[in-house]
Amino acid sequence: MKERPFLLININNTNTSFALATPQRIVRVVKVRTTALRKMPFAVSRVSGIVLASVVPDATKRVLRLLGQAARSKVLRVSAGIDLGIGVRYPRKKQIGADRLANAVGVAKGYGAPAIVVDFGTAVTFDIINARREYVGGIIAPGLASVTDYLYQRTALLPHITLVEPHSVIGKSTIEAMRIGAVVGYRGLVREILGALKHEPGMKKAIVVATGGYGELIARKVPGIKHVNPLLTLEGLRLIAVRNFT
């Protein structure tokens, strides 16, 4: 890589993603468990700027310590108060998660507006960008893994399961029954929310893009979701870096 890259950091409750990026593209991504953050995966002395999005304050402090004093001067923390390249029409701007703003930037630039981003993370979030490329609000629901983890933790006989596509909608074992309830049932939640959002003024033709860990699994049988982009949040951070560091 001839030019000095940007370092993009997205800290979420479950995982933290680190990425090196040029102004044109994301070059390399390293993902670690947020609770296991112990060192930086890239040499920060070689980057031209750092964009940090976080929804975990304690992990933010840890990452800033790992970056060191010299690198902290290069850090741009994502919020509604910086130059995002999109508008933010929201009454309580400080309450918007940095990852949700990055998603809004990524979808507006990459897919157009109006748009809806469905991010399947620890929680599932729906974020809405109007035709004027303004972030206007969203919805938060329990994440898919949170639902299955709750059943495992709060019941004596239900096991912990991995989430994959069910072979049938009639379960022949406890694990199959749980997978059907989780995957098929969760698609129902997503379809219902998307249907309601499409009835909002100006949103009938909104493009819907999924991202996050279970985005591909759920989206494959939700016709309203037109695109799946696992790197959407990082793409938004890359665009913010380009806007603020070049």
Give the three-state DSSP class for 217. Answer: helix
* 3-class secondary structure, 236: helix
99 is catalytic: yes
Count Cβ atoms below 10 Å from residue 33 Cβ, excluding itself: 9
Residue 130 backbone phi and psi in degrees, to 5: -80, 180
- The three-class DSSP label of residue 109 is helix
Alpha-carbon gap, residue 181 to 189, rounded angstroms: 11
Residue 121 to residue 215: CA distance in whole angstroms:
9
Given the residues 58, 99, 127, 149, select the one marked as catalytic.
Answer: 99
Phi then psi for residue 138, to 5 deg, are -175, -165
Contact (CB, 8 A) for 131 and 222: no
**Contact between 91 and 81 (Cβ < 8 Å):** no
The catalytic site residues sit at: 99
